[in-house]
Structure 1
Amino acid sequence: MTAVEAESGRVEGEADEPGWEVDPDDEWGVAVITTVGRQIKLRREAAGLRVPDFGRAVGYGEDMIYKIESGKRIPRQEFLDRADEVLEAGGLLSAAWEDVKKVRYPKKVRALGKLEARAVEIGLYECHIVPGLLQTPEHARAVIGAAQPPYSPDDVERMVAARLARQSVFDRDPAPALSFVMEEGVLRRPVGGRAAWRGQLRRLLDVAQLHHVVLQVMPTDCETHSGLDGRIELLKFDDGTAMGRSDGAFNGRPTSDPRQLRILELRYGTIRAQALPPRESLAFVRQLLGEA
């Protein structure tokens, strides 16, 4: 499954992180994690286990146990499974993962992931970065880690894992039609170092071989460019509805208005026509990889 496993599984780069902080603005997430933490605490106390003893039994420090029980930390699946075993919960704590996994990523990312999971067509023009759906873990970590002011290490890993989890869209059946247009300058920038850069270029070539994916490059020497206003995203659904968003239109807000969507579709279609054809785009990426 490329760089990411199924939504219910572990994501590369996540293994060293015992959990993530709960976003206080995510009301549903807070409710879920608080309820799970309370259940763990009640069962621990009923079993007569002090926090230090329970922590040693499950392999976590006292501070982490307190955070999970108070609903301030999102537990990993391994923690829930181990807690279920130690507290003899009969599978009830392990089963809580079904709810926890739905709120482990930021609220905005979950909303976007739901839309992408429904879409039958996804079109994306990116002018500053490689699209998140195409990023390798190393590239995503470098991009997110370069933000100023910087994110905490925990937040970086959470955002990387969330970005990679969205890539499950490539494994859907039936597969959605996916098209991407990226700037030449973006592909030339060795974000994360040369090794990470080479890995990202190889990832682009691999994805472009999929029958439902079209990848194009906008050359720097293009004299007419209709994407100078910024990023464009278009999603179409099987019920005939659609959603679009552009940095340079309608205040950057998502829109489903048919008239506004026509404008975005016109811009995106023009950008695709101005970009290199798919075959030439792949040849360009291969050339870059040879130079990397």
Structure 2
Amino acid sequence: MFGRLREDINSVFDRDPAARNFLEVLTNYPGLHALLAHRLSHRLWGHNLKWLARTISTLARWLTGIEIHPGATIGRRFFIDHGMGVVIGETAEVGDDVTLYQGVTLGGTSWNKGKRHPTLGDGVIVGAGAKILGPFRVGAGAKIGSNAVITKEVPDGATVVGIPGKIVKRAEPDTEEAPTFDPERREAIRQKFGFDAYGVSQDMPDPVARSMQAMLDHMHAVDQRIERMCTTLRKLDTGYREGRLPELRDEDFAEILADVDSCCGPDPRAERRTERQDTRRDAGDED
């Protein structure tokens, strides 16, 4: 028992730089108090002493502001930071090394008996105010941004933000990039798909803007590939004459590009697009 207590206290030191010493953590951390009370009530619940288990759980809620149902299964080195307003339902399952911030709800969406609450894999971090609702799994190492509402399964290692929750980062993003993409720019954008336990930062792109940018990347790659094909055809057949494509005017896309730039930063493709149009104009003049 004392070994498990020491392990729980050490997990606080690992994840909270404000923790200074053993006594302070033991006496002033409501998340630890709620966890210790839950371990006792969960054992009583397992021995069918359900009224006593619920009574201990209720007393712990009064003292800490954290409500953990005695039927919930909590893994090792579980840490609740700050803790006020955390609610964990009866059939919730929490893996090892999981971290929750204040205001988190592991709730259900049904009144039916049986599995109603989520399962959190090992190493999951759930930001302040997030709501995870339903009997599905949040994969190991996943991160849930603050105030997100999650109602469907989350893969391992993913970062999810928004209402409803959308995946903005995966554990193993695609590494095969089209040759026209700027690797440094793409890496900078990926860094913006980060995680903030207390609020979605202004630098984090909206998933819709991210989708729009992906489409623009794809269109740019297709455009360059067609240009290379036309160049090859001119070399093979001197009589081949390329038809002039309709010119794309920047003002037609100004509003969309402004929205993308506001989320993801300035787009260097605009300069490349202007250079490409100049090249086409020069080639037309020569013909």
Give the TM interval when normalised to the shorter protein. Answer: under 0.3
Tell me the TM-score normalized by structure 1: 0.24
Tell me the TM-score normalized by structure 2: 0.24
Which of structures 1 and 2 has the bigger CA Rg? 2
Q: Greater share of helix residues, 1 or 2?
A: 1
Higher relative contact order (CA 8 A, sep 6+): 1
